[in-house]
Structure 1
Amino acid sequence: MFMTQDAVPAGPEWLDRLVAPIRSGEAVATFARQLPRPEASVLEEFSRHFNYPAQSRLRTRADIPEMGVKAFFFSNVCSAVRTDVFWELGGFPDDVIMNEDMLMAAKVLRAGYAIKYVAGAEVVHSHDYSLKQQFRRNFDVGAFFADAGGMLEGAAVGGEGFRFVREQLRYVLRRGRPDLLPLVVLEAGAKFSAFQLGKRHRFLPLSVKKRMSMHSYHWDQKKE
């Protein structure tokens, strides 16, 4: 079972609910729903609701064509994996810049196992990133996808990114915050441009990559 230091259980039954599908044999890996912190911004509030809906879902390899990148979405902010399967698949890789949990999920599905998103297991966890932080984080996301290889085959991200922005625009309008529309557009532009640069990181000098990256220490382990 995995949990980061800044996630707080939202209720007393979160752990029982998280591991129930593993105990029953329904899935070999599960992850919890993340709720925004009370002080979270409207945009971060939307992000939690978009990525962690109120409905649970079981995922298998057969769902990859329909779900695309969402089939591999898995967060070790609060998650559990059956021990024998975790080590059978090599555990979390330590040579990726981020999203080691997504790569683990891809291995689980490719091996023929099931993953379940458990909406009833709730933790409070969110971050309000600045535009600069969003840029740096998405540069690393792009670098991750560039280096992930065939394990994420079928994980198209363009359509999901467009859907996120479209729904975010609708959300801020429903919340009566049209003043946030320019920020939504700026944030989307920062994320997109950073992701595209990250995907092409092999063409960039090491010094530039380190300045653009949220995890600059990762590049110290790499050779030019």
Structure 2
Amino acid sequence: MMSITVILPTHNGGEIWQKSAKRLAFQKPPITSVKIVDSSSKDNTREVAESFGFDITVIDQKEFDHGGTRSKALDSVRSDVVVFLTQDALLCSNDSISKLVNVFQAYPDVVCAYGRQLPHADANPLAQHARFNSYKDKSYVTSLTDEFPAGFRKAFLSNSFAAYRVDFLKSIGAFPKHLILGEDSYVAAKALLSGKQVAYVADAQVYHSHNYSASEEFKRYFDIGVFHSSQPWMIEQLGRVEGEGVKFALDQLKFILKQGKITWLPRSVVASAAKYLGYKLGKRHKKIGLKWSRRLSMYKSYWNRV
């Protein structure tokens, strides 16, 4: 049986963190260690973690870095596998983590894997579609030479619910510091280019979704554009997936019509336009300048270190 450490960043987790922590604490078999990295929460986030016996490290909110914070927490990990979760991801069953980690025993060349994310009960139609579109019901194991998934999509991975072999993750220097986001996809790409495999485990599931406004979608995709422009090697090595955004937008409209949520059609169009514009501007953030980039970004603290 593989030993497992869970690393989970928190900040003002609120009610959903209480539910998430409880589900994490009762995973079977029990997790070897749960490490919480809390960005100076003002609510009872740390008290909730303490009540379940989790290890807690407190950092200044301004110090949080998507890759760097996770890598620092990894330094002391000695288990076979590390699982990353976010505070708003609710494990669907008491063996969700076990199902995810089992892929490492079945496939020796798999070094990172991610599970299926289902929409929360309060997810709006756009949030529902985002999850059903990105997280299908069929698992896969892929390598650089496999046809599916195609192009850049091959490196898709989400640290909202993902697992890594600790020895591999440490061998590549873990997650890079000072990425605006995408530290998970970065490692997946490194794994593929080193001849390893990446897995998607559809029966390992969490509830995790966001009801983003059009403004928030714009900012999120601005940051994705910044990430892609800062790591051009990923698209150069893995290849583009032409028309992916258009396919997603059209599929979203079909999903809404099928659901009978006609009033959501305008919001779908606006959200898709916001994503497109945000992404294009994000890729050109150097021309926009630091002041405007900070204003247009979702993760504003990133720009304090540019």
Q: TM-score range by the shorter chain?
A: over 0.9
Equivalenced residues, count: 222
Unaligned 5+ residue runs, structure 2? 1-82
- AA in 1 matched with 2:154: A
Q: Does 1:16 align with 2:101?
A: no
Unaligned 5+ residue runs, structure 1? none
Alignment partner of 2:110: what SS? coil
What residue is the counterpart of 1:139 in the other structure?
222
What residue is the counterpart of 1:32 in the other structure?
115
Quick one: which of 272, 288, 295 aligns to 1:211?
A: 295
What's the CA shift for 1:65? 8.2
Farther off after superposition, 15-24 or 153-162: 153-162
What's the CA shift for 1:151? 2.9
- AA in 2 matched with 1:16: S
State the Cα deviation string for residues 7-40 of structure 1 (Å, max 9, x = none). Answer: 1110122111101111232511110100100110
TM-score, normalising length from structure 2? 0.70
Farther off after superposition, 47-56 or 151-160: 151-160
What residue is the counterpart of 1:48 in the other structure?
131
Confirm or deny: 8 A CA contact 2:150 2:241 kept in the other structure: no
Confirm or deny: 8 A CA contact 2:253 2:268 kept in the other structure: yes
Q: Does 1:77 align with 2:163?
A: no
Which has the larger share of strand? 2
Structure 1: how far apart are the matches of 2:246 and 2:297? 23
Q: Structure 1 residues 64 and 219 mapped into 2: Cα distance closer, same or farther (>3 Å)? A: farther
Quick one: which of 89, 92, 101 aligns to 1:7?
A: 89
- AA in 2 matched with 1:218: Y
Runs of 4 or more off by more than 3 Å in structure 1? 63-66
Q: CA RMSD in A?
A: 1.4
Q: Where do residues 94-109 of structure 1 align in structure 2 (5 Å cutoff)?
A: 94-109=177-192
Q: Does 1:128 align with 2:211?
A: yes
Identity percentage of aligned residues: 35
What's the CA shift for 1:193? 0.5
Farther off after superposition, 24-33 or 183-192: 24-33
What residue is the counterpart of 2:23 in the other structure?
none
What's the CA shift for 1:157? 4.6
Alignment partner of 1:32: what SS? strand
Structure 2: how far apart are the matches of 1:17 and 1:156? 31
